[in-house]
Amino acid sequence: RFEDITKMVKELRIDIDEMDEEERKKFYEKVKTYLHE
Cα distance between residue 35 and residue 5, in whole Å = 9
CA 8 centroid distance within chain: 8
pLDDT tens per residue, range 1-37: 778 877 777 777 767 777 788 988 888 888 888 777 6
Which pLDDT belongs to residue 14?
A: 66
Cα distance between residue 4 and residue 20, in whole Å = 23
Which pLDDT belongs to residue 7?
A: 79
CA atoms within 13 A on the CB side of 4: 6
Cα distance between residue 16 and residue 34, in whole Å = 18
Which pLDDT belongs to residue 3?
A: 80
Cα 10 to Cα 2, 5: the distances in Å are 12, 9
